[in-house]
Amino acid sequence: MNPAILTYGSLAAAIVLEVIGTTFLQQSQQFTRALPTILMALCYAAAFYLLSITLRTLPVGIAYAIWSGLGIVLISAVGLILFRQTLDTAAIIGLGLIISGVVVVNLFSNSVGH
């Protein structure tokens, strides 16, 4: 398998699982509901495992920046859609800057093995 596909596929899956895990964290109601708590733990464990796969190729700082940055943006969207949490202008601008940062790192950094 192509190493870039494995690396970025694992990273994308890690991000999705982290967002799903965080969604279950919200639904666990401070760990008082068993099923969402268990699902959260499983998603986080799988996300960290997949993140570790990306570290074979990407530097930890770059992988973590992409993982956390996109995770923040996606969980903000989930909060907006599923939990009806609002975002003010400053939050939207900040999320846009996070996306811009991830794009700059991926397109222009020599630290990322293209």
User: What is the number of other CB atoms lying within 10 angstroms of the CB of residue 102?
Assistant: 19
Instruction: Report d(CA 71, CA 62) in Å as an integer.
Output: 14
| Spans of all domains in the chain | 3-108
pLDDT reading at 113 higher than 70: no
pLDDT reading at 114 higher than 70: no
Note the pLDDT of residue 86: 94
User: What is the number of other CB atoms lying within 10 angstroms of the CB of residue 101?
Assistant: 13
Note the pLDDT of residue 69: 93
Predicted TM-score (pTM) of this structure: 0.88
Average pLDDT of the chain is 93
Burial class from Cβ neighbours inside 10 Å (0-12, 13-18, 19+) for residue 4 reads exposed
